Amino acid sequence: MAAGLAVSTSEFEDKVLKSDVPVLVDFWAEWCGPCKAIGPSIEQLSSEFEGQAKVYKVDVDTEPDIATQYGVMSIPAVFVFKGGKIVDQQIGMAPKEKYADMIKKAL
């Protein structure tokens, strides 16, 4: 995982909830095969939407409070936040285009 994409509990409010652009958040874990499979796609979206949207990853093992707060029971779980609220979500693995469409709808 690209280190710059990780967001911690202490950073979540400033980086995600107070963002002036839509934010895609990938809830994942190191042991999760499907999470690792979508990882490269999530990282590519970070570059593709640079300046338009932000992309972060939350490791549910190291940051369980955020996962609990948003009711994440199954991973991968990908949420799009806009204006501090969840505007879209995808539970389970999906193609990169699905995640890109989620961001585009929030722009």
Residue 20 has φ and ψ, to the nearest 5°, of -90, 0
Give whole-number Cα distances, 77 to 20, 39, 48, in Å: 22, 12, 20
Q: Catalytic residue at 56?
A: no
Which one from 5, 7, 32, 77 is the annotated catalytic residue?
A: 32
Please tell me the distance from the alpha carbon of residue 12 to that of residue 56, in angstroms, as a whole number: 9
Which one from 35, 58, 72, 77 is the annotated catalytic residue?
A: 35
Q: Catalytic residue at 3?
A: no
Residue linked to tokens 């501090």: 84
Per DSSP, 3 falls in state G
Residues carrying an active site annotation: 32, 35
